[in-house]
Amino acid sequence: MIFNFPLSVLVEKAVEDKISSMLLNLDLGKKCIIFADDNVKKIIADRVADIVSEKFEVRMIKPESAEKNYIENLAKTVSHYDFSIAIGGGRTIDAAKYSSFLAGKPWIAFPTILSHDGVVSSRASIENNEMKISMQASGPTAIIADLETIKGAPYRFMASGCGDLISNISAVNDWRIASRAKKEKYSTLIAELSLLSAKACMEHVKEIRSKSYGGIEALLWGLVCSGFAMNLHGSSRPCSGSEHNFSHALEKLFHEKGLQPAVHGEQVALGTIISLYLQKEDWEQARRIMKKFGLPVTAKQLGISGEAAVKALAAAKDVRDRYTILNKYKLTEKASRKILGRLGII
């Protein structure tokens, strides 16, 4: 496995004055393609494109779909450029990440929200027949974070990012369980990096809730380190366990009913409470922390029915082939309903 760390990281309150010099120092070529949706274009991407176009040939693309076939076709366009910049949230970053990987071109992550740990992850979350799948991609050659832009995004996205980081705790517990069952090899170093990301987030609750620059940076670096943990291991195992199974099961239910899922970090946060309970860990402390961040701790707060939560928990074990605490239980809908009632989720 080959894993390349970003060659450069630019984190400033306002990054416009330093973008061109950073790109020139990276020496990636002269032709740049910028990924951004209409909303992000208005907020910052148009300004960035104007700045970059002074030194580079620039084309801007709005990702029209997260579908695998669409992104594979998009890679043909990306192949005619030297590098790409993904400005936006998860969908935009994943489209740029996967298309650039297929085209064999470097890409730069420019997150405008901090809703999950995919900023530097070498995995891309895309859709195949409208179902989310995780595909091998490549990590970014560089990261650009404009703190003022991130500060202007709705707080809900930051809370979601915190939920994704806190879920590392139950994910690492599941990894240990899999190791004890001789299903996977456990790495203390990588696991501790994953847990460090969660700890950094939880120790900056006030700063993150107030959206201070220090809080934004703490969350950003937590998400970056979480992504590094996955890249070092070569899979999402250090940061994704039974709580993510629950989230994926919810998404499958939403898809079958033609509904939109909730924000990813909110779903895994709720799943983390369930997983920690099943792991016989301190789920009540996790619940208190979730509430401090303003994350949903009940099905109603997440915007789903109690029955949807029950069905998702009962189906979670079979969502993917990854050994977790769920493999130690045969959770029927009746048992799932009892557990969710005990936790106050329904």
Rounded to 5 degrees, what angle do the CA atoms 299, 243, 281 make?
95
Q: Which two tokens stand for residue 145?
A: 């974070």
Report yes or no: 194 and 226 within 8 Å, Cβ to Cβ.
yes
Among candidates 195, 194, 214, which has minimal Cα distance to 204?
Answer: 214
- For residues 80 and 77, give the distance between their C-alpha atoms in angstroms, rounded to a whole number: 6
CATH 1.20.1090.10 occupies which residues in the chain? 155-342
User: Model confidence at 62, in pLDDT bands (50, 70, 90)?
Assistant: very high
For 11-40, give one letter per residue: b (16+ CB within 10 A) or e: beeebeeebeebbeebebeeebbbbbbeeb
pLDDT of res. 2: 59
**CA–CA distances in Å: residue 159 to residues 116, 173, 266, 300:** 9, 22, 8, 17
User: Model confidence at 130, in pLDDT bands (50, 70, 90)?
Assistant: low
Question: For 155-342, CATH number?
Answer: 1.20.1090.10
Q: Hey, what amino acid is at 12?
A: E
86, pLDDT greater than 80: yes
CATH 3.40.50.1970 occupies which residues in the chain? 8-152
pLDDT of res. 125: 84
For 161-174, give one letter per residue: b (16+ CB within 10 A) or e: bbbbbbbbbbbbbb
Mean pLDDT of 226-232: 93
Its pTM stands at 0.94
Residues paired with 125 in a beta bridge: 134
Give the chain's mean pLDDT: 94
Check whether domain 8-152 has CATH 3.40.47.10, yes or no: no
Q: What is the pLDDT of residues 32-42, one digit of tens each?
A: 999 999 999 99
Give the strand order in the sheet containing 57-61: 8-12, 142-146, 107-111, 83-88, 31-35, 57-61
For the chain, give the longest Cα–Cα distance.
Answer: 63
pLDDT of res. 268: 97
pLDDT of res. 255: 79
Q: Hey, what amino acid is at 173?
A: N
pLDDT of res. 79: 97
